[in-house]
């Protein structure tokens, strides 16, 4: 196998024997004439493909199409009935919830056992334990038996262990679906870090928006066979064709994104600024409904972002936003030094870290007056909310204008806020943003459409 090849799957097939009941299994085992009571089920049939180092591959398919079986064979948990799999590098697998963990052991003990299984010594795992414990973020439960965990706590522990054994190949089978959106965002940040370091990732998902945004390639499986291998967008399109007829595809997309309406009355912009309390100079960000405690921060301490607030229509401190509402973002800053040309900005990102929109006062050509040390300022951005239903995160930042779009960064808090977009209406477009498109058919009276080009006399 070439050095840049991480995985080679050659003509892999996997057969299972299915019995109607445990009694039939026993009867077959004891029958003097070897009578068969089982039926054969081929989970995989003659599957072949290669994965290069550094590729991020999404695996799609309906339930029972062979996705999980394939990952278990690559991870070495199952053996193929025929064919071969060659893996070049240390594999860390996050498969079905609970796989490989002893429910009687504590989280700490299970992490050590997991390291041993993947070839990492006890001493190495103990050295990495603080990172694992911090990433899992399950508090005192880290030293409690795993049988007391919720499914969300379980996946936090499992993912934290899986990424901290220094894997060259990471395999994830839909496990992140049970985590909350803020933890998922942290995990996708780790995916991006793995990508930058050239690691290989294979993951199964039913969240189709993840595939085009995260993957360099996608595989589509159905009835145990590889149906497509290539561009992620085309893979998603073909997957929809498997699930729905072409005629109902658009309706199915819209139906899958329909959600319950949400509405609440509250205060005005003036009340929002009062809520932020001009006289308060301690950090209040953690008190906001949408605050994400997994935020990341870079600061030079020249200024400090100490509060933020999202207002949707008249609702203050909103974490759920109605599609089409008027949104205001308030950012409260205390300056610890004189700043001649301050610059404020924000960015909205998807759960997977894809930037939907980002801007700042330099790009908007708004100049902020010089501020002196000790001054508290509240900046306000306003925009019409056109994001389609989903979960989003927001970055906010303060910089000093140096003539470039980004400026000289003073304080940036990434993914500090989380909000959910809901709608009571059926979306009229796919993707992240609804552009509110209009359509019309032009007729002869408008004289805007010419069937033939004008003639030129010679």
Give me the residue spans of the domains in the chain.
5-256, 269-422
CA 48, 50, 51 angle in degrees (round to 5)? 140
Give me Rg for the CA atoms of the chain.
Answer: 27
**Tokens at residue 17, please?**
């024997």
| Other CB atoms within 10 Å distance of the CB of residue 440 | 6
The reported pLDDT for the residue numbered 205 is: 79
C-alpha–C-alpha distance, residues 110 and 328, integer Å: 46
**CA distances (Å), origin 210, targets 10, 207, 318, 430:** 27, 6, 26, 14
For 5-256, CATH number out of 3.40.50.300, 3.40.50.280, 3.40.50.9100, 3.40.640.10 equals 3.40.50.300
For 269-422, CATH number out of 3.40.50.12280, 2.40.280.10, 2.70.50.60, 1.10.150.120 equals 2.70.50.60
Q: What is the pLDDT along the chain (458 residues), one digit of tens a residue?
A: 457 889 999 999 998 888 777 888 888 788 777 778 777 888 899 999 999 988 989 999 888 888 889 998 998 888 999 999 999 988 888 776 555 688 889 989 988 888 888 788 888 888 989 988 888 888 888 889 988 888 778 888 888 888 888 888 988 887 666 556 677 777 777 887 888 888 898 988 777 767 877 788 999 999 889 999 998 888 887 887 777 544 444 444 443 333 222 223 334 455 666 667 777 788 889 888 889 888 899 999 999 999 999 988 878 888 888 888 889 999 999 999 999 999 999 999 988 788 889 999 999 998 898 999 889 999 999 888 888 888 899 999 999 998 888 889 999 999 999 998 887 666 667 777 777 777 778 766 655 544 455 555 54
The reported pLDDT for the residue numbered 453 is: 52
**CA distances (Å), origin 204, targets 62, 192, 220, 232:** 11, 17, 10, 13
C-alpha–C-alpha distance, residues 179 and 375, integer Å: 41
Q: Are 44 and 66 in contact (CB under 8 A)?
A: yes
Terminal C-alpha separation, the chain: 70
What dihedral angle (degrees, nearest 10) is formed by the CA atoms of 336, 341, 342, 347? -150
Helix (H, G, I), strand (E, B) or coil at 33: coil
The reported pLDDT for the residue numbered 447 is: 53
The reported pLDDT for the residue numbered 198 is: 84
Angle of helix 107-117 relative to helix 122-136, nearest 10 degrees? 130
């Amino acid at each position: 196998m070439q050095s840049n090849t991480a995985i080679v799957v050659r003509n892999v097939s996997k057969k299972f024997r299915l019995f109607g009941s445990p009694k039939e299994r026993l009867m077959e085992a004891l029958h003097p004439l070897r009578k068969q009571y089982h039926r054969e089920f081929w989970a995989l049939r003659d599957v072949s493909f290669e994965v290069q180092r550094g590729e991020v591959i999404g695996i799609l398919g309906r339930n029972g199409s062979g996705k999980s079986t394939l990952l278990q064979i690559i991870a070495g948990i199952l053996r193929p009935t025929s064919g071969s799999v060659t893996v070049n590098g240390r594999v860390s697998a996050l498969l079905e919830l609970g796989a490989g963990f002893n429910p009687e052991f504590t989280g700490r003990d299970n992490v050590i056992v997991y390291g041993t299984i993947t070839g990492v010594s006890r001493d190495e795992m103990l050295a990495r334990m603080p990172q694992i414990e911090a990433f899992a973020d399950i508090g005192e439960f880290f030293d409690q038996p795993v049988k007391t965990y919720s499914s969300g706590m379980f996946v936090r522990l499992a993912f934290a262990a899986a990424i901290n054994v220094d894997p060259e190949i990471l395999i994830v089978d839909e496990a992140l679906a049970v985590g909350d959106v803020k933890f998922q965002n942290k995990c996708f940040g780790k995916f991006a870090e793995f990508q930058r370091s050239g690691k290989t990732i294979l993951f199964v998902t039913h969240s189709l928006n993840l595939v085009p945004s995260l993957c360099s390639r996608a595989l589509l499986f159905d009835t145990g066979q590889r149906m497509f291998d290539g561009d992620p967008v085309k893979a998603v399109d073909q997957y929809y064709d498997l699930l729905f007829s072409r005629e109902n595809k658009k309706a199915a997309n819209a139906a899958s994104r329909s959600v319950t309406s949400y509405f609440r009355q509250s205060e005005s912009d003036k009340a929002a600024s009062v809520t932020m309390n001009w006289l308060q100079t301690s950090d209040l960000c953690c008190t906001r409904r949408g605050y994400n405690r997994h935020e990341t921060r870079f600061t030079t301490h020249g200024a400090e972002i100490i509060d933020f607030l999202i207002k949707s229509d008249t609702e203050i401190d909103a974490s759920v936003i109605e599609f089409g509402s008027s949104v205001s973002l308030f950012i409260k800053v205390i300056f610890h030094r004189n700043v001649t040309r301050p610059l404020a900005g924000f960015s909205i990102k998807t759960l997977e870290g894809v930037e939907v929109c980002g801007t700042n006062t330099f790009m908007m050509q708004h100049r902020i007056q010089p501020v002196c040390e000790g001054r508290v300022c509240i900046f306000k951005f306003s925009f019409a909310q056109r994001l389609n239903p989903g979960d989003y995160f927001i970055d906010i930042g303060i910089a000093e204008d140096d003539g470039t779009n980004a400026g000289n960064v003073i304080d940036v808090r990434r993914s500090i806020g989380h909000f959910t977009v809901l709608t009571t209406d059926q979306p009229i477009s796919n993707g992240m943003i609804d552009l509110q498109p209009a359509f019309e058919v032009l007729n002869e009276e408008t004289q805007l459409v010419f069937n033939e080009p004008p003639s030129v006399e010679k």
